Amino acid sequence: MPEGVSSDLEKEILSEISKEVPWRLVEEFSKLERVSGTEDERKAANYIRKELERFGITYQYFEPKLYISQPIEAEVEVKIPETRKIKCRLPAFSASGTVTGELFFVESEGYGIDAAPTTIPKEVKGKIVITEGLSSPTVALRLEQAGTIGQIYINPSDRIHESTVMPVWGTPTPEDAKLKPKNPVVDISRPTGDYLLKLMENSRVVVTIRTELREDWMKCPLIVAEIRGKEEPEKFVLLHGHLDSWYYGIGDNATGDAAMLEIARVFHKFRTRLKRSLRIAWWPAHSTGRYGGSTWYADHFAIDLWENCIAHTNCDSPGCKWAYNFDEVMWNPEAEELCKEVIRRVAGKEANGLRPPRAGDYSFNNLGITGFYMLSSNIPEEIRKEKGFYPVGGCGGNTAWHTPDDTLEVADPDILVRDIRVYAATILRVLNSFVYPFNYLKLVDELMKWIMEYSHHVKDKLDLSPVLKELELLRNDLEAFYRISIEIEGKKDPERAKKVNEVMLSISRLLVPLYFCKRGYFEQDLAVSIPPIPLIADCLRLLELDPKSDEYMFLKTRLIRGRNKVVNCFRIAR
């Protein structure tokens, strides 16, 4: 084990972590296709419950009714200029039905999961669009709003990846339900896509798409274990990951489920030495319910989360074969220093962080809760190139992700143990810290970077100087706050440290939503790509619009209101 861990307790916890319990779970889950709403998902939940009971760990078990979309079957049939049926796969929440229309190709930029059209021509209206990449809610919504009647996505290889095209996060409200996809959507392989594109070179091509899905309210198992701290048991870190999978889903996410179970076992063993509490949640409905399980928990335990959750950490796809590096780790800016230090000390690796995307059961952004980790370790770029891997959303970068090939061979027990230790050490440092180890100056600097970027582009079309002025004042106040907190930590003054931590939570509740969200604290933003500081990010659209048009003035009005909200939040934070 690398030297330099931060405490005797941390050394003991990391030494206790082994492969026996987590790898046994991985092997058991390799026999279960854990699609939400199915018997195999319930068997997986029961396995975890029995293990928790064996270790003497207290847990709550829920069976919420969640809105689930299970793909059943799909078919694409070429009608003109020849007749041929082609293999495809069906994403969750595609519309069910049959549609016939002419194919229209829309070019994408990027590769794999990163591919998306930069512009969508008006000629797509009334057509079935064929484009490159993996089906996604962001692209599917854009195409549908442009008037398409169906969509076909060409995946980059022989593999066809499962996905979802639901742009709504969790269970829809009446307002968001209107955004449910109305287009039948399918994914096809690269060779099949090449065949269709070749056909389009010389002829008008007409196809029929047939899709069938089961959408219903389904009872799903949701487990939340708790290891109570001794000094501030009401305060907690939430460790979470999804129980459900596509197919056997070993890299996504049996390894994550195993990591959480091992952390529960080990932290329970050392529970008398924990200052604060650890909750560990296994969510259903990640894939076929669009983060339905974590959203249900955020809805039903919102006040407790708002008042007491120090941070949340998502455990998705740890412990995958060849995942030697930490080049693409996700964390909020305020958690960067903590995460980098832990990865350096525990894994002996330098880490590179990314802004968490609107994904990975990050259902707690609107509540203003600091998040760290989502995908953890990754396969180095040179190995991915050697193996012909392209960007995907899990399994450490292995393109078995969301396919029947995500089996036992995708995982590595030794890498899994290393990754569990990274999670355990990071969580422990939050639970037992005297002052919470988050630097909100980093978040302020990130906000300032983006506001300056927006201001540089829009210039006088939207005056962002009031935002920058307030943010600079907030930064000055935060610098003074951290000087005081360092002094308090040095003197080990517990009462003043509690007040410092309360201030940190208050800052988090204000600034984290500004960074990620448009909507209010107890709502959920859409499950689509969202730029930083979304209340004002649309200012870039002003550059594309006629200043004399109604659309320009309507948008500017909304942006001014968004600017006011941002300024007000900075003032409250001060």
Contacts 24+ apart (CB under 8 A), 304-307: 305/238, 305/364, 305/367, 305/369, 306/367, 306/368, 306/509, 306/521
If you count DSSP H runs as helices and E runs as strands, how many of each does the chain have, helices first? Answer: 17, 15
Q: What residues pair up with 29 in beta bridges, in sequence order?
A: none
pLDDT value at residue 3: 40
88 SS3 class: coil
Nearest Cα neighbor of 74 from 145, 165, 142, 13 is: 165
Sign of CA dihedral 130, 136, 330, 365: positive
184 SS3 class: coil
Nearest Cα neighbor of 260 from 75, 416, 399 is: 416
361 — alpha (psi -120 to 50), left (phi > 0) or beta? left
The strand order across the sheet containing 84-86 reads 84-86, 65-80, 206-219, 97-106, 128-132, 150-154, 185-188
Neighbours of 446 (CB within 10 A): 19
426 vs 343: CA distance, rounded Å: 9
pLDDT value at residue 7: 85
CA geometry: angle 170, 175, 178, nearest 5 deg: 85
Angle between helix axes 255-269 and 8-16 (nearest 10 degrees) is 130
R_g of the chain computed on alpha carbons? 24
Instruction: Give the pLDDT confidence of 61-89 residue by residue, as tens digits.
Output: 999 999 999 999 999 999 999 999 999 99
Q: Domain 8-64+220-431 carries which CATH code?
A: 3.40.630.10
Instruction: Tell the CATH topology of 70-213.
Output: Glucose Oxidase; domain 1 (3.50.30)
94 to 69, 91, 163, 165: CA distances (angstroms):
9, 6, 10, 6
Sign of CA dihedral 476, 481, 484, 485: negative
356 vs 340: CA distance, rounded Å: 15
Q: Enumerate the domain spans of the chain.
A: 8-64+220-431, 70-213, 444-573
- Containing 209, the helix (H) or strand (E) segment is strand 206-219
Render each residue's pLDDT in the chain as its tens digit; 574 residues.
334 456 899 999 999 999 999 999 999 999 999 999 999 999 999 999 999 999 999 999 999 999 999 999 999 999 999 999 999 999 999 999 999 999 999 999 999 999 999 999 999 999 999 999 999 999 999 999 999 999 999 999 999 999 999 999 999 999 999 999 999 999 999 999 999 999 999 999 999 999 999 999 999 999 999 999 999 999 999 999 999 999 999 999 999 999 999 999 999 999 999 999 999 999 999 999 999 999 999 999 999 999 999 999 999 999 999 999 999 999 999 999 999 999 999 999 999 999 999 999 999 999 999 999 998 899 999 999 999 999 999 999 999 999 999 999 999 999 999 999 999 999 999 999 999 999 999 999 999 999 999 999 999 999 999 999 999 999 999 999 999 999 998 888 899 999 999 999 999 999 999 999 999 999 999 999 999 999 999 999 999 999 999 999 999 999 999 999 999 999 999 8
Burial class (CB in 10 A: 0-12, 13-18, 19+), 19: middle
**Cβ contacts of residue 512 below 8 Å, gap of 6+?**
332, 365, 368, 369, 370, 371, 443
pLDDT value at residue 376: 86
Residues in the chain: 574
Sign of CA dihedral 349, 423, 290, 44: positive
pTM: 0.96
272 vs 558: CA distance, rounded Å: 52
Nearest Cα neighbor of 129 from 138, 180, 137, 120 is: 120
345 vs 340: CA distance, rounded Å: 9
pLDDT value at residue 6: 62
23: its two tokens: 């790898």
pLDDT value at residue 413: 98
